[in-house]
C-alpha cells in the first residue's frame, strides 16, 4: 500500500503540470472559468472578494461613528446566515413549508444585499445579482416551489400553462446551460493538457457528437443525488468527492450512461477521497493571498490553476483505473485526448485535406467596390447572390484547411478520430463558418428573433416570481429591442475581430459599454438630469449608466450569437424560399416600427414594467431593461423616446 501511494501523483507534480497547461493557454482558460462563474456553474463566489471592499468600508464607518456594537451584531448575524446552505433552504421547504423556506432564503439574500449597498462592487439589483444571490441562498428551490404553488392557485388554464412554461424555461436554463457547462469546461482543460491549440468550436463539442441531452441528464442527476445526500451529516461531503469525476468522465466519453458514469467515478475515487481533499486544501495559501487582491487573483489565476490541477488528478486516476481493470474503465476510450495521434491514423481521415494542402492554392483577386467593402468589413450584403455564395464557400474552405493543417501538425485534437460507439458525428456542426456575411433580410430577422427571446426570458422570470403575466418594456409587442440591437451592433462592427475570440469578447464589452454609457450621459445632459435608466446598486456599475451585468451579458451572448446562433440561423433561413422569407420579415418589421411609433406617444407603462420612477427612485426589482430599451430605441429607431 505504501509503495502504491508513492506511485500516485504528489501535489507538487500535479501543480507543476497544471502550471504548464495554464502557461500554454492562459487567456482561453481564464475566459472559460470566468464564464463558469457568470453562469454559476462553478466558482460561485468568484466575485465575492470584490464585494468585500464595500463590507470593509461599512465596518470602519461603524467603528468611527460609535456603532461598533451594532456592527458586531450585524457581523454575527452575517456569519449565522452564511452558515446556511441551499440544502438547508430545501430542507426547510420540505419540513415547514414554502413560507419558512422563502423566509430563510430572503434573510440570506437580504444580508448579502445589505453588505453590498452604496458600492460599485455591490450586487443589489439586476439579473446577474439575482442569479448569484438566488443560487447561493437556495432561492432556486424557492422559485420551483413558488411556481408550483402559483400553478395550484391559478384560476384559468391559460395562467396555469403560462406559469408552467415559465418554470420550464427556467429549469431548461439551469439544466442545459449551467449544469451542462461543467462538462464543456472539463473538455477544454483536458484538451489543453496535450495540444497547443484548442479551437473555440469546442464549446460545440457535445453538439457535434450529438450527446448534449445525455450529458446534461447525467450531470443533473449527479447534482440532485449529491444534494439529497447533503441532508445527512457527512453524506453530502462523501458524495461530493465520490462523484467529483463525473464531469470529466462524460467530457471524455459523452456516450457513457448515467449509471455507468456514477459507478465509475465511485470506483475511481475509492481510497482517494481524503487525498483529493488534502490536495484541494493545499490551495488555501493562494486563497489567503487572494484576500489582499479583493478577488482579482482568484479570477485571473487561482480558478484556472485549480481546475487545471483537478484535470491532472483525473488523468492520474484514469490511468490507475485502467491499470487495475476497474469495472467500466474501458469506456474511458478517448485515446487521442491523452496522446497525439500517429501519422497513419491522421492521414487516413484527413487525406482529402492533406492533398489540397499539398497542391498549390489559386490566388484570389482582391474584391473592389463599395458593396464588397461593406461585405469585407461589416459582413453585410444586400442579398445572397451566387457570386457571394461562391466567395463564402472559398473562405469556408480556407478555414477548413487551416483547421486540418493544425490537426495534421498535431497541434489540435483530431475530431474525426472521436470514438463513441452507437452514434454518428454531426458533420454540419464541424463546418460552421462564422466569418460569413449576412443579407439585410437575415440581419432584420436576427434583430427581431433576439428581441423576442429577450422578452420571453424576462416575462418568464416575472411569471415565476409573481404568477402574473407582465409585458416587459415600453413597447406593446413581444420584443425588447435592447437584445436585438446589441446583437446586430456586435455582428456588424466587429467582423474583423471574429477570428480572435478573446479580443472579440473584450471589444464587445467595450463597444456596448461605450454606446450605453454615452447614450445615458447625453440623455441626462439634454433632459435636465432625467435618468432613463439607473444601474445604481448593480454589480460593478459606473455612475449608474453601465454595469458589469449588462456588459458581460453583451460579451457572452455576443460570442454565442456570433460563433453559434447567427451562423446556425443563417444556414436554416437559407433553406427557405427567398421571396416568402423576405416578405414575412418585412411584414413583422413593419409591425415593429408601427409599435415603436405608437409607443413613443402611448408607452407601455403598466405595473412591473420598470423599477425606476420618474424621479429616478428605485421601487422594485423588476423591469430594469425597460428604460434602456426606450433610450436605445430612440437612438436606433425614430420616435423611440417619449
Q: Roughly what angle, to the nearest 10 degrees, separates helices 481-493 and 440-466?
A: 140
What is the model's pLDDT at position 585? 95
What is the model's pLDDT at position 215? 94
Q: Where are the domains of the chain?
A: 2-336, 342-377+394-409, 438-636
What is the model's pLDDT at position 319? 95
Classified as helix, coil or strand, 97 is: coil
Give the whole-angstrom CA distance, residue 168 versus residue 460: 9
Dihedral-angle region of residue 437 (phi above 0 means left; psi in -120 to 50 means alpha; beta otherwise): beta
What is the model's pLDDT at position 65? 39
Q: Which residues does residue 612 pair with via DSSP β-bridges, in sequence order?
A: 618
Give the whole-angstrom CA distance, residue 279 versus residue 271: 14
Cα 31 to the chain's mean position, in Å? Answer: 11
What is the model's pLDDT at position 106? 61
Counted residue by residue, the chain has a size of 642
Is-contact 356 401, C-beta < 8 A?
yes
Is-contact 100 141, C-beta < 8 A?
no
Which residues, at least 6 apart from 7, have a Cβ–Cβ distance to it below 8 Å? none
What is the model's pLDDT at position 56? 43
CA geometry: angle 188, 191, 197, nearest 5 deg? 95
Compute CA distances 443 → 400, 429, 589, whole Å.
Answer: 25, 21, 11
Which residues, at least 6 apart from 582, have a Cβ–Cβ distance to it below 8 Å? 441
Give the whole-angstrom CA distance, residue 274 versus residue 234: 13
What is the model's pLDDT at position 98? 53
Nearest one of 465, 437, 472 to 451, comparing CA atoms: 472
Cell of 523: 440623455
Give the whole-angstrom CA distance, residue 390 versus residue 433: 14
Give the whole-angstrom CA distance, residue 441 versus residue 446: 9
Give the whole-angstrom CA distance, residue 543 versus residue 536: 7
Nearest one of 346, 341, 24, 332 to 189, comparing CA atoms: 24
Give the whole-angstrom CA distance, residue 281 versus residue 15: 13
Give the whole-angstrom CA distance, residue 22 versus residue 528: 51
Q: Which residues of the chain have pLDDT under 50?
A: 1-5, 49-83, 116-138, 421-431, 610-642
Give the whole-angstrom CA distance, residue 20 versus residue 192: 10
Q: Which residues does residue 439 pair with via DSSP β-bridges, in sequence order?
A: 381
Q: Roughly what angle, to the nearest 10 degrees, separates helices 26-38 and 501-526?
A: 50
| Helix, strand, coil percent content, the chain, rounded in steps of 5 | 70, 0, 30
What is the model's pLDDT at position 458? 77
CB atoms within 10 A of CB 616: 15
pLDDT tens digits, 462-485: 776 666 777 777 788 888 887 788
What is the model's pLDDT at position 301? 95
Q: Which residues does residue 466 pair with via DSSP β-bridges, in sequence order?
A: none
What is the model's pLDDT at position 574? 87
Which residues, at least 6 apart from 517, have a Cβ–Cβ distance to it below 8 Å? 542, 545, 546
**Alpha helix locations (H) across 195-338?**
205-208, 212-229, 235-242, 246-252, 258-269, 273-281, 284-290, 296-297, 303-323
What is the model's pLDDT at position 640? 34
pLDDT tens digits, 402-436: 889 999 999 999 998 887 544 444 444 444 678 88
| Residue recorded with cell 421547504 | 93
Is-contact 563 502, C-beta < 8 A?
no
Which is it for strands 438-439 and 541-542: parallel, antiparallel or unpaired? Answer: unpaired
How many CA atoms lie less than 13 Å away from 609 in the CB half-sphere? 18
Amino acid at each position: 500500500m505504501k509503495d502504491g501511494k508513492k506511485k500516485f501523483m504528489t501535489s507538487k507534480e500535479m501543480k507543476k503540470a497544471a502550471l504548464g497547461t495554464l502557461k500554454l493557454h492562459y487567456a482561453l482558460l481564464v475566459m472559460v472559468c470566468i464564464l463558469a462563474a457568470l453562469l454559476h456553474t462553478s466558482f460561485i463566489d468568484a466575485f465575492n472578494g470584490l464585494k468585500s471592499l464595500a463590507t470593509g468600508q461599512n465596518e470602519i464607518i461603524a467603528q468611527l461613528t460609535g456603532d461598533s456594537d451594532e456592527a458586531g451584531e450585524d457581523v454575527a448575524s452575517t456569519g449565522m446566515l452564511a452558515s446556511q446552505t441551499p440544502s438547508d433552504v430545501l430542507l426547510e421547504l420540505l419540513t415547514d413549508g414554502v413560507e419558512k423556506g422563502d423566509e430563510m432564503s430572503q434573510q440570506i439574500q437580504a444580508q448579502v444585499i445589505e453588505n453590498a449597498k452604496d458600492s460599485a462592487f455591490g450586487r443589489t439589483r439586476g439579473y446577474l445579482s439575482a442569479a448569484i444571490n438566488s443560487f447561493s441562498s437556495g432561492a432556486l428551490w424557492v422559485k420551483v416551489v413558488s411556481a408550483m404553488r402559483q400553478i395550484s392557485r391559478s384560476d384559468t388554464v391559460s395562467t396555469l400553462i403560462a406559469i408552467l412554461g415559465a418554470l420550464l424555461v427556467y429549469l431548461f436554463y439551469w439544466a442545459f446551460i449551467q449544469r451542462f457547462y461543467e462538462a464543456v469546461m472539463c473538455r477544454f482543460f483536458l484538451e489543453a493538457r496535450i495540444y497547443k491549440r484548442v479551437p473555440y468550436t469546442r464549446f460545440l463539442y457535445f453538439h457535434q457528437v450529438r450527446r448534449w441531452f445525455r450529458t446534461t441528464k447525467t450531470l443533473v442527476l449527479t447534482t440532485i443525488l449529491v444534494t439529497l445526500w447533503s441532508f445527512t451529516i457527512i453524506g453530502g461531503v462523501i458524495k461530493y468527492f465520490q462523484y467529483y469525476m463525473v464531469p470529466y468522465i462524460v467530457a471524455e466519453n459523452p456516450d457513457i450512461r448515467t449509471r455507468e458514469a456514477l459507478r465509475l467515478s465511485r470506483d475511481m475515487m475509492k481510497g482517494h477521497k481524503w487525498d483529493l481533499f488534502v490536495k484541494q486544501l493545499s490551495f488555501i495559501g493562494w486563497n489567503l493571498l487572494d484576500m489582499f487582491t479583493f478577488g482579482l487573483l482568484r479570477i485571473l489565476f487561482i480558478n484556472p490553476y485549480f481546475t487545471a490541477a483537478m484535470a491532472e488528478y483525473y488523468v492520474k486516476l484514469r490511468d490507475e483505473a485502467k491499470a487495475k481493470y476497474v469495472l467500466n474503465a474501458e469506456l474511458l476510450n478517448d485515446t487521442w485526448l491523452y496522446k497525439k495521434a500517429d501519422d497513419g491514423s491522421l492521414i487516413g481521415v484527413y487525406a482529402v485535406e492533406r492533398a489540397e494542402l499539398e497542391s498549390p492554392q489559386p490566388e484570389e483577386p482582391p474584391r473592389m467596390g463599395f458593396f464588397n467593402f461593406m461585405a469585407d468589413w461589416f459582413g453585410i450584403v444586400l442579398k445572397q447572390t451566387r457570386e457571394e455564395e461562391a466567395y463564402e464557400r472559398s473562405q469556408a474552405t480556407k478555414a477548413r484547411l487551416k483547421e486540418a493543417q493544425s490537426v495534421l501538425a498535431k497541434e489540435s485534437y483530431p475530431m474525426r478520430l472521436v470514438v463513441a460507439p452507437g452514434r454518428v458525428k454531426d458533420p454540419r456542426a464541424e463546418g460552421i463558418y462564422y466569418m460569413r456575411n449576412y443579407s439585410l433580410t437575415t440581419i432584420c430577422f436576427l434583430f427581431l428573433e433576439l428581441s423576442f427571446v429577450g422578452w420571453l426570458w424576462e416575462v418568464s422570470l416575472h411569471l415565476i416570481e409573481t404568477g402574473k403575466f407582465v409585458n416587459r418594456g415600453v413597447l406593446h409587442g413581444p420584443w425588447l429591442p435592447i437584445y436585438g440591437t446589441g446583437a446586430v451592433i456586435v455582428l456588424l462592427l466587429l467582423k474583423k475581430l471574429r477570428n480572435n475570440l478573446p479580443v472579440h469578447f473584450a471589444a464587445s464589452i467595450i463597444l456596448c459599454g461605450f454606446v450605453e454609457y454615452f447614450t445615458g450621459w447625453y440623455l441626462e445632459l439634454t433632459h435636465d438630469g432625467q435618468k432613463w435608466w439607473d444601474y445604481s446598486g448593480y454589480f460593478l456599475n459606473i455612475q449608474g449608466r453601465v454595469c458589469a451585468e449588462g456588459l458581460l451579458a453583451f460579451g457572452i451572448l455576443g460570442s454565442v450569437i456570433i460563433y453559434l446562433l447567427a451562423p446556425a440561423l443563417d444556414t436554416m433561413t437559407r433553406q427557405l424560399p427567398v421571396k416568402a422569407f423576405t416578405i414575412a420579415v418585412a411584414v413583422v418589421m413593419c409591425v415593429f416600427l408601427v409599435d415603436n411609433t405608437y409607443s413613443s406617444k402611448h408607452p407601455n407603462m403598466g405595473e412591473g414594467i420598470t423599477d425606476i420612477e420618474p424621479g429616478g427612485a428605485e421601487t422594485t426589482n423588476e423591469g430594469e431593461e425597460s428604460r434602456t430599451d426606450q433610450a436605445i430605441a430612440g437612438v436606433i429607431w425614430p420616435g423611440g423616446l417619449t
